[in-house]
Structure 1
């Protein structure tokens, strides 16, 4: 089936571009609102000494007798904030109501902070975000699977099939989502990465080489990259180039992936606007 797209002129200035949100990113008449519950977590064994908040969004259609899908969002409040760019809970409510995606629990997890750090007002001292998100190891996905998701499972019935578990993030949260699914495809098989910070992973971006050498994993991956992302026209630490390298490797290896290129800089705007389409694409019933 051919899908016809309306004409949209390209902006001449590729840096100062803002995308407008569609109707799925705003509350709609007749769409029931799910319940969002806030939690705090201080007892981490994977990241000792950290404190964080997380939120669980349970859609109105959730039935404890029917295990729900799960979507994890890094940078929890940024992706949940109804006045922000992503508006995750609003999008989930709209898409579930229309039957575009299955009934899905939204888990929005903030990165850890060290409340007892010296000079906590200094973000480099108090925040554990880059340590958690940029690392190429299994600590963060282990943290999710052993510390946070069990707390969700105590309150909600979650599907066991890994095809029904997804993970989403932007910037460092994007490569974090990729790493979580890459290392644990037995749990996460749906991935969204916006403007992923592969360029700043310690030791460099491992994925172009890994994707080309490792047996293909059963992942479905939605990527967004920006023409004017950080260092876009420089030979090193180039966010755009590293995302394109990962996308090329996925394509050459035959992965089920989609790359959307946009204008603008390192901002959550374009990825947030794309969230409804990204979720629909991730949960589509076929591999077309």
Structure 2
């Protein structure tokens, strides 16, 4: 494949990437439907409430067995005018037959009501290492989707995507619940701020390889990119290197710019294509 020439930017920090055609509403593509669901109680995260949006591409019968894709940070990833534009991307790829029949679930992080003051529960859910968040998705959110659609029971027909803390949450959910999630996209993952440090390079050295398919993205000028500690860029590279040494089916894309959602949003169409290659209808 011959790739077009693209000059490297000299300023690696102040970089924005242009969106491709798959991130723009396309003439002739019918938008999918979006259903909003409120979750006001939780077993895994007591006291939290949140909103979930379910995207169903046009023409998908509710009775047809389908894949499911979770997106962390809910509306922020779904918003057609935002940095990621998830609904627009899913509509375009689904219409082109480049994804398997799929419903996508955009899950907001929880909110705690502390003395009538709403407090974000995002970092507590996303940055911690353990099965809590993955189990929340599979045991508390997924049943709501299975009530509406014929979701495949195959873990390799279930994926998850997130950026920043949502990126390490995506990797953690699939790692701790490989019985339920088999495909992962992590943009600018914040492995560096996980309590106790990034566990994945050490785990990947000692644990048997899993069938998990992983797409990672790192930004060359991410937070503390040239610091000896708490280095967002280095932790992504070290996780990718450990995946390579362990023989995983993974892909790493490194871009310029800082800790921004821009490049991940631009990459989303191709990240989804790569992630679901071989599973498309």
Same fold? TM cut 0.5: yes
Whole-Å separation in 1 of the counterparts to 2:144 and 2:116:
31
Tell me if 1:117 matches 2:114. yes
- What CA deviation, in whole Å up to 9, does each residue of 1:52-76 have, x standing for no partner? 1110001112112321110000000
CA RMSD of aligned residues (A): 1.1
Q: Following the alignment from structure 2 to structure 1, what is the Cα–Cα distance between the partners of residues 117 and 171?
A: 30
Offset, 1:119: 7.4
Counterpart Cα distance in 1 of 2:162 and 2:242: 20
Q: Which residue number corresponds to residue 121 of structure 2?
A: 128
Q: Select the residue among 250, 254, 263 that pairs with 2:247.
A: 254
Distance of 2:83 and 2:120 partners within structure 1: 22
Q: Counterparts of 1:117 and 1:235 in 2: how far apart (Å)?
A: 37
Write the deviation string for residues 212-260 of structure 1: whole angstroms up to 9, x where unpaired.
Answer: 1100011100000000001101111000000000000000111000000
> d(CA) in 1 for partners of 2:42 and 2:95?
35
The SS at the match of 2:268 is: helix
Q: Secondary structure at the match of 2:38?
A: strand
Shift of 1:185: 1.2
Task: Find the partner of 2:33 among 27, 32, 35.
Answer: 35
How does 1:125-274 map onto structure 2 within 5 Å?
126-274=119-267
TM-score, normalised on structure 1? 0.95
- Number of residues paired by the alignment? 279
Instruction: Provide the rounded CA distance (Å) in 2 between the counterparts of 1:149 and 1:106.
Output: 11
* Secondary structure of 1:221 counterpart: strand
Q: Verify the 8 A CA contact 1:92 1:104 in the aligned structure 2.
A: no
* Structure in which a larger fraction of residues adopt strand: 2
What is the TM-score normalised by the length of structure 2?
A: 0.97
